[in-house]
Amino acid sequence: MPDIRNIVILTGAGISAESGIDTFRGGGGLWEQHRVEDVATPEAFERDPDLVLRFYDMRREAIQTKLPNPAHEALARLDAAWDGDLLIVTQNVDDLHERAGARRVLHMHGEHLNAWCTACDARTRWTEPMIDRPACPACGQKALRPDVVWFGEMPYEMDRIYSAIRTADLFVSIGTSGAVYPAAGFVRDARQLGVRTLELNLERSEGSAWFHETRLGRASEVVPEWVDEVLAPAR
Ligand code: APR
């Protein structure tokens, strides 16, 4: 792929769908089974912490039984082989990119397998339930919550993401519906900066018109094909 050196990849729930993790929107999506306002807002946590903790305990347990699929593996292969800058910005709170071996991953919506202490601000790797209010390993307070960005909260590391987009030659969006900002706006930002943009998704996303190119298909097929293409000249 000529003239491409720096790449920013945005991933969403669609890349983990074939690993058996529910997406959020569409038939059977998580937000059809649960109301966002009941489980994914700071207000919900204040109102009914048990309900919210139980929901995330279930999700945390479930993701640990899932495995990366060929799309995660292909991105890990790209990460290992790519000499230029590369940043995989994921909206996903699962750890499948890392388990596939990717290193340059940024979790803009947090991580299921982290606990965040609202008393001392420490973040701790967390694989167990939180419903019984375990103590924070750093300060001993029973003030842990899932380290997941809820609606109404600011996603993580926005400065780092925008700075990567500013120096990118290629922006690729994989498996996201383009319904949630600020991630949904990255393609427009990239376009305005003159960055080439590519969408890989099962169906056209809401911001599909902003992409130079769209390839429709299952992530486990279109992502490895694209990675092969990108790495081909280097071989
Ligand atoms: N391969 C590729 N794309 C797929 C596949 C698949 N096998 N299965 C589904 N998709 C696509 C869907 O067509 C849809 O466009 O993935 C997209 C998933 O969209 P959402 O469920 O809206 O997930 P996402 O875009 O990641 O959601 C963004 O919303 O609720 C929040 O914080 C949550 O990070 C999440 C954010």
Render each residue's pLDDT in the chain as its tens digit; 235 residues: 558 999 999 999 999 999 999 999 987 788 878 888 889 999 999 999 999 999 999 999 999 999 999 999 999 999 999 999 999 999 999 999 999 999 999 999 999 999 999 999 999 999 999 999 999 999 999 999 999 999 999 999 999 999 999 999 999 999 999 999 999 999 999 999 999 999 999 999 999 999 999 999 999 999 999 999 999 965 4
Q: How far apart are the CA of 173 and the centre of ligand 1, in A?
A: 11
CA 47 to chain centroid: 27
Q: Which residues are identified as catalytic? A: 109
Can you tell me which residue has the tokens 């609202």?
Answer: 118
DSSP-based three-state secondary structure for 70 = helix
- In this structure, the residue with its CA closest to atom 21 of ligand 1 is 24
89 CB near ligand 1 (under 6 Å): no
CA distance 140 to 11: 35
Token pair in block for residue 134? 């375990």
Report whether residue 25 contacts ligand 1, using a CB cutoff of 6 Å. Answer: yes
Q: In terms of pTM, does the model score above 0.85?
A: yes
Contact 16 CB / ligand 1 (< 6 Å): no
Q: Is 16 helix (H, G, I), strand (E, B) or coil?
A: coil
In this structure, are strands 123-125 and 110-117 parallel, antiparallel, or unpaired? antiparallel
